[in-house]
A and B are shown apart, each in its own frame.
Chain A
Amino acid sequence: MPEQLTAPRAGLFTTDEASVPLTGVSIDADVSTFCARVTVTQRYVNSESKPIEAVYVFPLDEGAAVCGFEAVIDGTLVVGEVKEREAAFKMYDDAMEQGHGAYLLDEERPDVFQASVGNLPPGKEVLLKLTYVTELSIEGGTIRFMIPTTVSPRYAPPEDRVGVGRPDSDTLNPPIAWSVPYGLTLTVRVTTAGAIGRIESLSHPVSVSMNGSAATVTLSQRDAALDRDFVLSVETAGLDAPRGWMERDDDGTASVAVAFVPTFPDASAPAEIVFLVDRSGSMGGQSIEEVRNALQLCLRSMIPGCFFNIVGFGSTFQPLFAKSRAYDERSLVEASEHVSALAADLGGTEILPALKSVLDEARHGSLPRQVVVLTDGEVTNTDAVIGLAAEHAADTRIFTFGIGNSASHHLVRGLARAGRGVAEFIHPGERIEPKVVRQFGRLLSPALSRVRLDWQGVDVTQSPSSIPPVFAGGRLLVYGLLRRLHSGSMPVRARLSADAPSGPVSWEVAVDTTTVASGRTVATLAARERIRELEESPAWTQLRGSQQSGRKASAVTQEIVALSTRYGLISRETSFVAIERRDTPVREDIQLRRVPIALSAGWGGLDRIHAVGTRASHAAAAASLARQAQSLAGDTGSLPAPSARHINLLPTDSTDLFGALRAFRPRNAAPARPSPVPSSTPDDGDVRRRMQILIGLQHADGSWDLTEDVAEAVGDDLEYLESALGLRTSSREHQNAWATALALAWLEHEAGQFEIEWRLLAAKGRYWLDIHTAASGSGKEWIADAARTLKF
């Protein structure tokens, strides 16, 4: 078996339906502009003849503030309370010992939870309901709402397989099955401030009913498989406006949230960029394909003056170059060839030593160093990895791409947070280009310095206490907890200011205090944010090493427990426990039943089937998977060619570009003619194809050669252009300057709708053109002339 599967109990097995007490999961969510409130209901039935203890390990959104836990049994509602983790277990354990019913919810990682249903008598059914609130992320003009549904097998490095008590390798690797006899039903209600433009799910077929600024989304299929993240994107107006929300709690305290969407002029500056690429077995199949595509685009988005390297990791790590190399035609060609041949062939996921070696390396001169991590994040040692990134935050920023159907959001987001960068997720079937370009825009732009937030007219406890880095176009959410809100107070003003390369910048949000809603959603999110900050602090992560007797309550632990119990939300130090007192205690041997979870779709390249749907189609998919697993087990070196075609439920035009990128060739290589461009009336598809060809033909320095391919892509033939521009006898450099001007003119006039994708490439081209045309007018004039030649 591949190395990932050697962790205890992470092996695959077929399930005996009778022994799986979980019979269904239903999720109900309310999504607004700023946050979502989600209720997850798990239904357990004991169809055996003895009492059981059911244990289910499942994922939640890594930002989830779980603030409610209830059990419904025999029509009785039992409400859970937050207790210190061990105290909660003691209550649970005592209740079971006494024959009562007991329900426990533990947070193993911010994105992995464990529910325990203790002492469920034969024939009984119980509903566990947990409620959480979570911030929503914004990408462009789109709200992205994500619900993870399965925990992928996680690689445990040797240090996570030892230590007193239950090792992390075991806690985070529940039993995995090819198919599980329970499914998902889902309803999402969306209400936004502005009108909703478009709602779509990248992951599942859905039915949507819309009504202005409200919509309801349900899964088209009943009992969908819990084997991939549910991803919903909602296009709505007004997301870029700074906003504030305020709530008053029953006890007179209040909480405020302010959202900034700062924009400032884009400036690109060279950097040293190290790509850290996950090549472990779990990345096989579509994930490594996505990595190759994203990397090809990354390579072309760098600018002259950059230094770069590519480090692949698995059980070992392999840098492409001994040291970071200057970005030029030669290194680009070498890197591009290296990337085309990248495979998920390096075994386990030893991300910690790989990251450490990159961070320990001396920086290249005075260039800022940016590390770009591409991974599914499926490891158990997330705390150690995030802790390492935090230690080096002063000299290296870290940007991450989460790859695949169920990447660990905690690792991918946590690593970027600790490294003062940003995380982007690439789900299968999703367009990669805008994400890569957006990410590059951030990592090439000089960071704002001296970022500070001033609260005016009010005394608040701010959360997080230190302001995260600010990037143009991203949403920055900051919370404040107020001890008391006096009626008729002045509006609360929050002013964010910083120094940009172009000078000081500032943004302001004012929150009206005259009409304040009552509630504690904002307070809960504020507390969650503070707990997260504490749980990612070195003081806490270092404490994690000593879990048992030697562990003392530190000030950090005490603050986490205090916040958690005060606001009634779970943390790594606290759990929810609910006790159902029984008049007639059930005192018999209790059978432990660990609920198996479904293997993530596409994990390790094992599945290219969208196995959402009926049990029958799921079973067929499972049979196909089993065959592939057998062949994988026999040969860990190379993955089998997928036998089933990817059933295309989703828009997947993202792959076309990469055909063009792969056709990329060095300046002196024999020409490989790109596929012919149809000369019909240009539509989006045609424009896209031409654009992709142009991108594939651009050189590292930003220029284009005057060739037939370039001429064809801009819609004319070479002979016409040469004669129109009088280029037959001119120098090669002169010809290339015209080719560059033509390509840029074409992009500006014909491919405006895709600007987000070619923005960085064009900036590089203009820069090259400015230098090479300095003797005869500006680059801008050349582009204008080129546009006239192309009759725009």
Chain B
Amino acid sequence: MPTVPDDPRYAIGDLADLGGVSRRTVRYYVQEGLLPTPHGVGRGNHYGPEHLEQLLKVKSLQEGGRTLDEIRRALDHRSRVRAQAEADAVPAPERSVWRRITLAPGVELNVSGDVRLPAPSKLTELASWCRLHFSTTSREDEDA
């Protein structure tokens, strides 16, 4: 899908793909308050880098076996800690956190919590490049 260069936003499909979740899951996280509502009018049509960050966090907590209630509590706690940290003007990177970004089926990018992610347009560009060049076995082959 061609993305406008330097577009600072993700469409819901891009966000879901990079997060390695289904589109239903993105909507569900928003409904449940685990992700902030998207930007824009109506149902909202774009998401920012903060949405991807949060999505990756929620997903990794779910993968770690946490229930949604536990995650909600953990996120609350984190945002309080972050607010406190910002108030104290002490940089507090989350060292042990790694973000797993899905670039293509079977291809993931692991980015440490203290490394800034590139702009959405760059990341989606990288993802489409990967989808093009890392092709999985075709279905015809599987069936044969």
Q: Which of B1-37 contact A (CB under 8 A)?
A: 12-13, 20-25, 27-28, 31
Contact B42 A590 (CB under 8 A): yes
Which of A96, A99, A163, A587 meets B62, CB within 8 Å?
A163
A209 CB-CB contact with B under 8 Å: no
Contacts of A86 in B (CB 8 A): 22-24
Contact B42 A165 (CB under 8 A): no
CB distance from A738 to the nearest CB of B (A): 67
A89 CB-CB contact with B under 8 Å: yes
Which of A90, A167, A558, A590 meets B23, CB within 8 Å?
A90
Q: How far is the CA of A588 from the CA of B41 in the complex (A)?
A: 6
Residue of A nearest to B70 (CB): A162
- Interface majority SS (helix, strand, loop, mixed), chain A: loop
CB distance from B73 to the nearest CB of A (A): 14
B133 CB-CB contact with A under 8 Å: no
B118 CB-CB contact with A under 8 Å: no
Which of A99, A548, A555, A590 meets B22, CB within 8 Å?
A548
Residue of B nearest to A587 (CB): B42
Contact B42 A8 (CB under 8 A): no
Bits for A80-108, please: 1 = Cβ < 8 Å to B, else 0: 00000010011001001101000000000
Q: Which of A582-602 contact B (CB under 8 A)?
A: 586-590, 592
Contact B21 A549 (CB under 8 A): yes
Contacts of A592 in B (CB 8 A): 31
Contact A165 B24 (CB under 8 A): yes
Q: How far is the CA of A586 from the CA of B41 in the complex (A)?
A: 11
- Please indicate which of the listed interface residues B42, B44, B69 has the most CB atoms of chain A within 10 Å of its own CB: B42
Contacts of B22 in A (CB 8 A): 86, 89, 165, 547-548
Contact B21 A89 (CB under 8 A): no
B51 CB-CB contact with A under 8 Å: no
Q: How far is the CA of A163 from the CA of B66 in the complex (A)?
A: 8
Contact A89 B23 (CB under 8 A): yes
Contact B12 A93 (CB under 8 A): yes
A553 CB-CB contact with B under 8 Å: yes
Q: How far is the CA of A753 from the CA of B105 in the complex (A)?
A: 67
Contact B67 A162 (CB under 8 A): yes
Q: How far is the CA of A315 from the CA of B43 in the complex (A)?
A: 42
Q: How far is the CA of A548 from the CA of B21 in the complex (A)?
A: 6
Q: Which of B70-88 contact A (CB under 8 A)?
A: none
Q: How far is the CA of A657 from the CA of B63 in the complex (A)?
A: 53
Residue of B nearest to A166 (CB): B28
CB distance from B74 to the nearest CB of A (A): 14
Contact B67 A99 (CB under 8 A): no
Contact A555 B142 (CB under 8 A): yes
CB distance from B144 to the nearest CB of A (A): 12
Contact A587 B21 (CB under 8 A): no
Which of A90, A162, A588, A589 meets B13, CB within 8 Å?
A90
Instruction: Provide 7 A-B residue pairs closer than 8 Å at the C-beta atoms, listed in order of the A residue.
Output: A86-B22, A86-B24, A93-B43, A162-B66, A167-B67, A170-B68, A587-B42
Known: A162-B67, A549-B21, A592-B31. 5 other contacts (CB 8 A): A8-B68, A96-B43, A162-B65, A549-B102, A587-B42
Q: Which 3 pairs show the lowest CB-CB distances between chains A and B?
A: A549-B20, A587-B42, A165-B25
